[in-house]
Amino acid sequence: MSRLSSVTRAQLAPEGQEVWDTLRIRDGSVIGPYPALIRVPELAAIVRRLSNYLRHIDAFDRSDLELTILATTRACGAPWVFDAHVPKGLEAGIRAEAIEAVRSGSLSELNPRERVIVEVCEASVRDHRLNDALYARAAAEFSEQTLIKLIALVGYYSLVAMVMGAFDTE
């Protein structure tokens, strides 16, 4: 149960209603961190723009993107977001064994690329930095721009996990 009361589109000021219309899903509701963020429409709009950009990063193939999301949400302790992305990850081509390795925290089943992605996510969430050895492995695997985008994606999903966890949204 959410710590915040439900808000409908009709309860929002006109600028909030405009933002709501950009966030809503097919049934007209807003989901994820947006039931909380819509209370600050400008912030919700900025977060949505960032989400749209990060979900369409041309530097990643879809499986790398979804693996980053899975590893980040697991490291953040956000099982509801993790579970929502498992089907997307499978559809994107992530091996079921890799998803289970991320879920369990046992990384021995990961190939080298998967492992560096997961370790970058975990270190970023846990330590807020990459040690020299991990940075060197990540820099060898990804271009500088791709690594920057990967870290930004970790930051975005950390934000999602924090907002949803703080306000107990579903």
The CATH number for 76's domain is: 1.20.1290.10
Q: Does pLDDT of 152 surpass 80?
A: yes
Q: What average pLDDT is seen over the chain?
A: 93
Whether 39 and 89 share a structural domain:
no
pLDDT score, position 169: 81
Give how many domains the chain has, as a whole number.
2
What are 34-73's pLDDT values in tens digits?
999 999 999 999 999 999 998 887 767 899 999 999 999 9
For range 100-127, the mean pLDDT: 96
Q: What's the domain range around 81?
A: 62-167
pLDDT at 59: 66
Asked whether residue 38 falls in the same domain as residue 104, the answer is no
Burial category of 155 from C-beta neighbours within 10 Å (exposed 0-12, middle 13-18, buried 19 and up): middle
**H or E stretch covering 128:** none
Report the C-alpha dihedral over residues 92, 110, 60, 85, rounded to 10 degrees.
40
Q: Kindly report the pTM of this predicted structure.
A: 0.91
For residue 136, pLDDT over 90 is answered with yes
The answer to whether residue 2 sits within a structural domain is: no
